[in-house]
Chain A
Amino acid sequence: MNSTEGSVILSIQHLNKEFSLRSSKLFGKPEILHALSDVSLDVYEGETLGVIGESGCGKSTLGRCIVQLHRATSGKIIYGDKDITKLDGTELKGIHKDIQMIFQDSYSSLDPRFTAAAAIEEPMLIYGMEANKAKREEVVLTLMKEVGLDVQHLQRYPHEFSGGQRQRINVARALVLDPKIIVCDEPVSALDVSIQAQVLNLFRKLQRERGLTYLFISHDLSVIKHVSDRVAIMYLGHIVELCPSETIYANPLHPYTQALLSAIPPETPFEKTREHRLKGEIPSPIGKQVGCPLANRCPKAMERCHNERPVLVEVESHHQVACFLYHDETAE
């Protein structure tokens, strides 16, 4: 795992994303939903960075902010010396060539009226990449073979494929532009276990052969461990822990990470249920956020946690945590 020795390909700095919600009162002020709060993350070239969290943690929003489907409220995303949050028009179109996305729902991310071949050809038409139709068809077929499909799949429509096959089409389409970074938003969550394994292996093969960098978003810790070099744990719009993927299992530091691990169904019938439980429910991301996001549920919460928000601090080599339990150990 030499990910931390490579160069930084994408740098996310103090990213905030707020959504404005219409107030339930007639003339009330709109309420603010804090989807992402002060998220800072460096992604190294060639690595797979796993992002894990439960619903409402902001992992999907983070992915979408990176590909500019959502425009960040504040903060920067630096790619190749440019802050891509400030780009528009043709410059932004250029960025799309390098940063692509695979969505969770393989069916709704394909236009039901386009055949697999048409869907994969589309990016070439958008960028005017190859004027010759026959050459384009060649490229499409090569890509389909690369993802494990074949000639007979070219003229089929999305509803005529299985979930796993559709996801392969999505991958092929994302690869047309020869991107450097692919944001994978829960790409296998909707697939059966045995198909999931096939698609995960495909992701790894493509990374090896093309030198891709992945930002892999999922809610399944076992999947994340299998694909990632490093993992970022998110809760309520914040990153609470960031470390290499074996460390997640071996030495989880943040109380939320510990709770997450203990909640995972056992691998064997003989495992005892681990302790670390969180009480209550996830708080609302709407309105002012004070203190540590986990404060009201954390079994180890202190006075300080309710008033101040802990930031990510490196407490061990390559291991960052945002928790006051560990801050006293580091020199402030």
Chain B
Amino acid sequence: MADKNTQAPSADTLSEASTLEMLKRERRANNAWHKLSRNKTAVIGLVIVVIMVILAVFATFIAPQDPNAIDIAHTYLKPGAAGHIFGTDSYGRDLFSRIVYGARISIFVAIGGTIVGAVIGVLLGLVAGFFGGIVDSIIMRIMDGMMAFPFILLALILMTILGTGTLNVILAIGIANVPNFARIVRGQVHVVKNEEYCNAERVLGASNARIVFRHIFANALSPIIVYFTLNIASAIISEAALSFLGLGITPPTASWGNILSDGKNSLQLAPHIATISGIFILLTVLGFNLLGDGIRDVLDPKQKR
């Protein structure tokens, strides 16, 4: 019954030394990792994400076969048949290898697109939020306009202009995500810029630039990180959607989206193609969402645990 939390402390516990000790204990307990590990769903999310990232990074070592190796003799093999864990697709390619390489593409595109969106969006949000007035109105109305566009339509237009290819998919997803980041950051800047410490810094003589970059940005970072993680999840779906419609990653490069697209043609004959790629998309999106929610709970100062 006497663990270090309930043990009756000695009288010297009212001293400075024990207050220091309590401070250390509190810092450890509130350490971001500790907090995260107490959240079961976040841990599940983290595990899933780590697994998928490992697949993506070490694809060359994990995939047993060449994902593009065509084998007409063995098309539509069921999972488990003759050395193909997940079976084969319409061209006889090993599905497992394609899924593994697909992870690389899908996650790379999702993260890349999110980074593009984040960099541009955060910058726009900082400018709009800090200057306010006309600048704010103009930027935010442009953002509103972009958000009003259905994503697929926007992507279609962008792809028409830019052409197809992995890099252009990243750009398309990135541009479509700029408004989301801009809005969140602009909102945060509005909140932080009126906090008393920004006033205090002004009275101390700090310039606008200093306030924005040393104070506002750092304090606006938390929601950006949360949103970044959640955005990766939706970017995976975006890529899948684009590839599904033939606008995304061009075959023969494997991505989960175009495997899914391939699989829709053979739902009766070989349901495993669509199902397995669908499951991987689902799991990864779930993983990033759970992780993002967990990070939000950890970083949200109002939540006391």
User: Contact residues of A with B, CB < 8 Å?
Assistant: 67-69, 93, 96-97, 100-101, 103, 105, 108-113, 122-123, 126-127, 152, 156, 160, 170, 173, 177
Is B73 interfacial (CB 8 A cutoff)?
no
Give the distance to chain B from A149, nearest Cβ to Cβ, in Å.
12
Q: When the two chains form their complex, are residues B205 and A123 in contact, meaning their CB atoms are under 8 A apart? A: yes
- Pairs A–B under 8 Å by Cβ, sample size 5: A67-B203, A111-B218, A111-B219, A152-B16, A173-B200
Give the distance to chain B from A216, nearest Cβ to Cβ, in Å.
16
Contacts of A152 in B (CB 8 A): 16, 20
- Pairs A-B, 6 closest by C-beta atoms: A96-B205, A108-B196, A109-B196, A93-B205, A109-B200, A111-B197
Q: When the two chains form their complex, are residues A113 and B219 in contact, meaning their CB atoms are under 8 A apart? A: yes
Contacts of A111 in B (CB 8 A): 197, 201, 215, 218-219
Give the distance to chain B from A114, nearest Cβ to Cβ, in Å.
8
Of A101, A109, A123, A173, which is in contact with the most chain B CB atoms at under 10 Å from its CB?
A109
Is B202 interfacial (CB 8 A cutoff)?
yes
In the complex with contacts A152-B20, A160-B23, A173-B204 CB distance below 8 A: yes
Contacts of A96 in B (CB 8 A): 203-205
> Taking chain B's interface residues, is the majority helix, strand, or loop, or is none over half, making it mixed?
helix
Contacts of A68 in B (CB 8 A): 203
Contacts of B205 in A (CB 8 A): 93, 96-97, 123, 126-127, 177
In the complex with contacts A103-B196, A109-B196, A177-B219 CB distance below 8 A: no
Name which residue of chain A comes closest to B219, CB basis: A113
Contact of B206 among A101, A110, A126, A177 (CB under 8 A): A126
Is B199 interfacial (CB 8 A cutoff)?
yes
Contact of A109 among B20, B199, B206 (CB under 8 A): B199
Q: Report how far A96 CA is from B201 CA in the complex, Å.
A: 10
Contacts of A110 in B (CB 8 A): 197, 200
Q: Report how far A110 CA is from B23 CA in the complex, Å.
A: 19
Q: Report how far A126 CA is from B205 CA in the complex, Å.
A: 7
| A/B pair count, beta carbons within 8 Å | 59
Q: When the two chains form their complex, are residues B20 and A105 in contact, meaning their CB atoms are under 8 A apart? A: no
Is B210 interfacial (CB 8 A cutoff)?
yes
Q: When the two chains form their complex, are residues B218 and A122 in contact, meaning their CB atoms are under 8 A apart? A: no
Give the distance to chain A from B268, nearest Cβ to Cβ, in Å.
58
Name which residue of chain A comes closest to B206, CB basis: A126
Chain B residues bordering chain A, tally (CB within 8 A): 22
Name which residue of chain A comes closest to B23, CB basis: A160
Contacts of B300 in A (CB 8 A): none
Contacts of A100 in B (CB 8 A): 203-204
Contacts of B199 in A (CB 8 A): 69, 103, 109
Give the distance to chain B from A109, nearest Cβ to Cβ, in Å.
4
Name which residue of chain B comes closest to A170, CB basis: B200
Contact of B203 among A101, A105, A160 (CB under 8 A): A101
Give the distance to chain B from A36, nearest Cβ to Cβ, in Å.
18
Q: Report how far A67 CA is from B206 CA in the complex, Å.
A: 13
Of B26, B197, B202, which is in contact with the most chain A CB atoms at under 10 Å from its CB?
B197
Contacts of B204 in A (CB 8 A): 96, 100, 122-123, 126, 173, 177
Contacts of A112 in B (CB 8 A): 197, 219, 301
Q: Report how far A93 CA is from B205 CA in the complex, Å.
A: 5
Further 16 A-B residue pairs, CB within 8 A, beyond A123-B204, A123-B205 = A67-B203, A68-B203, A101-B200, A103-B196, A103-B200, A109-B196, A109-B200, A110-B200, A111-B201, A113-B218, A122-B201, A126-B204, A126-B205, A126-B207, A160-B26, A170-B200
Q: Report how far A69 CA is from B215 CA in the complex, Å.
A: 17
Q: Report how far A237 CA is from B144 CA in the complex, Å.
A: 41
Name which residue of chain B comes closest to A110, CB basis: B197
Q: Report how far A105 CA is from B215 CA in the complex, Å.
A: 18
Q: Report how far A194 CA is from B3 CA in the complex, Å.
A: 35
Is B195 interfacial (CB 8 A cutoff)?
yes
Contacts of A101 in B (CB 8 A): 200, 203
Give the distance to chain B from A218, nearest Cβ to Cβ, in Å.
17
Q: Report how far A290 CA is from B243 CA in the complex, Å.
A: 71
Q: Report how far A126 CA is from B215 CA in the complex, Å.
A: 13
Q: Report how far A250 CA is from B87 CA in the complex, Å.
A: 96
Q: Report how far A67 CA is from B205 CA in the complex, Å.
A: 10
Q: When the two chains form their complex, are residues A108 and B206 in contact, meaning their CB atoms are under 8 A apart? A: no
Contacts of B215 in A (CB 8 A): 111
Contact of B195 among A69, A108, A126 (CB under 8 A): A108
Contact of A156 among B23, B196, B201, B210 (CB under 8 A): B23
Contacts of A69 in B (CB 8 A): 199, 202-203
Name which residue of chain B comes closest to A158, CB basis: B197
Name which residue of chain B comes closest to A160, CB basis: B23
Q: Report how far A112 CA is from B197 CA in the complex, Å.
A: 9
Interface residues of B in 183-226 (CB under 8 A from A): 195-197, 199-207, 210, 215, 218-219
Contacts of B26 in A (CB 8 A): 160
Name which residue of chain B comes closest to A156, CB basis: B23
Contacts of A127 in B (CB 8 A): 205
Contacts of A156 in B (CB 8 A): 23
In the complex with contacts A96-B203, A126-B204, A108-B20 CB distance below 8 A: no
Q: Report how far A152 CA is from B16 CA in the complex, Å.
A: 10
